[in-house]
Amino acid sequence: MLEIRTPKTGKAKRVLEKRAPKLVETGKKTLILHGTKTSATVSSVLMELYRLKKGGAIKYSRRNENIRPFESGGETSLEFFSQKTDCSIFVYGSHTKKRPDNLVLGRMYDHQVYDLIEVGIENFKSLLSFSYDKKFAPHEGTKPFICFTGEGFENVPELKHLKEVLTDLFRGEVVDNLNLTGLDRAYVCSAISPTKVFLTHCALKLKRSGTIVPRMELVEVGPSMDLVIRRNRLPNESLMKEAMRTSKDKPKKKEKNVDQDAVRGKIGKIYMPDQKLGEMHLPDKSKGLKRERKESKKLQEETDSKKKKKSSE
């Protein structure tokens, strides 16, 4: 029998509520891990990915010997770290003679490995190797553009898989509206061949265009690298169906006395209580009251004159 533990403090309850499933999920956090051996290229790539995702990533610098994502039983430590840090995306870097400068990108569902894709790093250029005006440098935590160019991202299954993983890795928080002035970075992915993708990070430079919408220019700020696809593992059908299942939205309350017309649009009926016009107080300036006053004054003058006649007789 497994022991069921319930939170006893307010802080523990808030942590569990934050990790609980939601109708609108927050941005996915990234877990960055080192393998048994890593080269200088892999270490710098992991460090720069952590800088690009600062605020939405957790990085462990200790070497992990028990993590082998593509082997059976080699995912236990990875799932433990995912549950501990509440991260749903991971980047695992390693370096061997068979697979030099290796990166494994993967996604988690319910703290279990959902899918995996392995890429090799070639022609890596660090942030420090680019020279540009520092006032155009992107700010931390801003929302990026993600651009995929090439027919391979629509036709080749491995590139389609890589596109999905890279989109989840870089997009951050999901929002409905964006302010154009807050967009200052872009990730450009170009399919060079069915197994190679060129990835670069650029800053967005806004210039005058003579219209309301400004003209944009890309300034390469790094890092940039070639990603060579080596292995990938797609999720099985049952896990995919469970992960893709969405909760039904709550039905909206029906609006009373509101109809939709094809011509006039939205039409509403307003309830008005009985106004009781007979009991309403009318102003003294109304014409009807003036007429009544003149008639009553005339009658009063006639009665007064008749009384005077009788008294004189």
Those residues with Cβ within 8 angstroms of residue 292's Cβ, 6 or more apart along the chain or in another chain: none
Burial zone of 119 (CB within 10 Å; 0-12 exposed, 13-18 middle, 19+ buried): buried
Nearest in space to 30 (alpha carbons), one of 168, 144, 134, 151? 168
Task: Give me the phi and psi of 35, to 5 degrees please.
Answer: -85, -170
Which three-class secondary structure state does DSSP give residue 183? coil
Specify which residues 145 forms β-bridges with. Answer: 186
Residue 312 identity: S
Q: Which residue has the higher pLDDT, 11 or 246?
A: 11
Q: Is the pLDDT of residue 284 over 70?
A: no
pLDDT score for 3: 63
Cα 232 to Cα 103: distance, rounded to the nearest angstrom: 12
Render 274-302 in DSSP notation, one character per residue.
---GGGPPPPTT-HHHHHHHHHHHHHHHH
- Per-residue tokens: 128: 């420090």
Mean pLDDT, residues 176-186 taken together = 80
- Is-cis flag, bond preceding 223, omega within 30? yes
Mean pLDDT, residues 159-175 taken together = 90
What digits encode the pLDDT tens for the residues 209-230? 888 878 888 999 989 999 999 9
* Residue whose token pair is 């309403």: 280
Task: Give me the phi and psi of 89, to 5 degrees please.
Answer: -130, 140
Of the pLDDT bands very low, low, confident and very high (cuts 50, 70, 90), residue 153 is very high
Domain 27-235 class, CATH top level = alpha beta
Q: Which long-range contacts (CB under 8 A, 24 or more apart) does 147-152 make?
A: 147/186, 147/187, 147/188, 147/189, 148/189, 148/191, 149/188, 149/189, 149/190, 149/191, 150/190, 150/191, 150/192, 151/191, 152/191, 152/193, 152/194
Give the CA count within 13 Å in the CB-facing half-sphere of 206: 12
What digits encode the pLDDT tens for the residues 118-151? 999 999 999 889 888 888 888 877 888 899 999 9
pLDDT score for 1: 44
The domain ranges of the chain are: 27-235
Nearest in space to 87 (alpha carbons), one of 51, 62, 112? 112
Q: Is the pLDDT of residue 108 over 80?
A: yes
pLDDT score for 291: 65
DSSP annotation of 137 reads P
- Per-residue tokens: 234: 């797609």
